[in-house]
Amino acid sequence: MFSKPLLALSLAVMAFLTGCSSAEKESTYTISTETGSFDHSHATFTEVLKTHVKGAKVDYAGIKKSPAKLNAYLDTLANIKKSEYDGWSKDQKMAFLINLYNAATLKLIIDHYPVKSIKDIGSIIKGPWKQEVVRLWGKKVTLDHVEHDLLRPGFKDPRVHFAVNCASIGCPDLLNEAFQASKLDTQLDNQARAFLADTKRNRLDAKNKTLYLSSIFSWFEEDFVKKSGSVEKFVTPYFNDADRAVIQRGGLKIKNTDYDWNLNKQ
């Protein structure tokens, strides 16, 4: 039999081990956030996306059930100082902001899930894009701020509209990997090509001389015009050869397809 001191010590060790086991079950996913060690591959976000994005649909219920990696990734982005960001390359900055927007949107949805549409979050006066839910450079900003004050004027690349995701069926699909500076141009081009190839949202009716395009091309027409001279000139390279020839001849009417605001959930 154990002596009383030895018995007490044994019980203490058992209690410690039990506590460790319990703590491991409840522990959160963490990422190093030391200055200079930022992972520009955004690997943790890619893990989240690979796990929960299938085709055009997102498993919001799954993310809500296991949010640790998403939360840790957002914590990492929030810990980046403006001075550190300013020292990055243009592509590193753009990839960072796109991923921040998409990750913050996922967080917004799961914080209110289940919800039928992102537009049901908030109020008419202060909808989802005007809520200060994005942690950036030591303060909270809105999704609108990230998109309209930082991404659009800062990079002047209208392909950003195919990269940021509004959690809706009508939106370009959420890429199932994080955007990365090392392949950003290819990713943006692939997103634009995939979106314009979706005939539910974009198509040419050559017979009736009508080009049907997503409302995105109407809402942000100025971005596409500034880049290419017109919406038609911007979209032309993304169509097949036959359609491209028709569009280049001109004389087409542009009509917007219906934008589906239902949640893009699995």
Bridge partners of 168, per DSSP, are: 263
**Tokens, residue 168:** 């809706």
Mean pLDDT, residues 169-193: 98
pLDDT in the model for residue 32:
45
Q: In a 3-state reduction of DSSP, which class is residue 58?
A: strand
Give the span between the Cα atoms of 257 and 235, in whole angstroms. 15
Domain residue extents for the chain: 43-256
Give the span between the Cα atoms of 96 and 98, in whole angstroms. 6
Which amino acid is residue 190, in one-letter code?
N
**Tokens, residue 64:** 């809500």
**Tokens, residue 112:** 């209110």
**Tokens, residue 206:** 């050559």
Rounded to two decimals, what is the model's pTM?
A: 0.87
Concatenated DSSP letters of 194-222:
HHHT-TTT-EEETTTTEEEE-THHHHTHH
Whether 6 has a pLDDT exceeding 90, the answer reads no
Enumerate residues 6+ apart whose C-beta is below 8 A from 24. Answer: none
Beta carbons of 167 and 109 less than 8 angstroms apart? yes
Q: Helix crossing, 43-52 with 68-78: angle to 10°?
A: 150
Alpha-carbon 136 to chain mean position: 15
123-133 pLDDT, tens digit per residue, is 988 999 999 99
Burial of 7 (0-12, 13-18, 19+ CB in 10 A): exposed
Beta carbons of 120 and 57 less than 8 angstroms apart? no
118-161 pLDDT, tens digit per residue, is 999 999 889 999 999 999 999 999 999 999 999 999 999 999 99
110-120 pLDDT, tens digit per residue, is 999 999 999 99
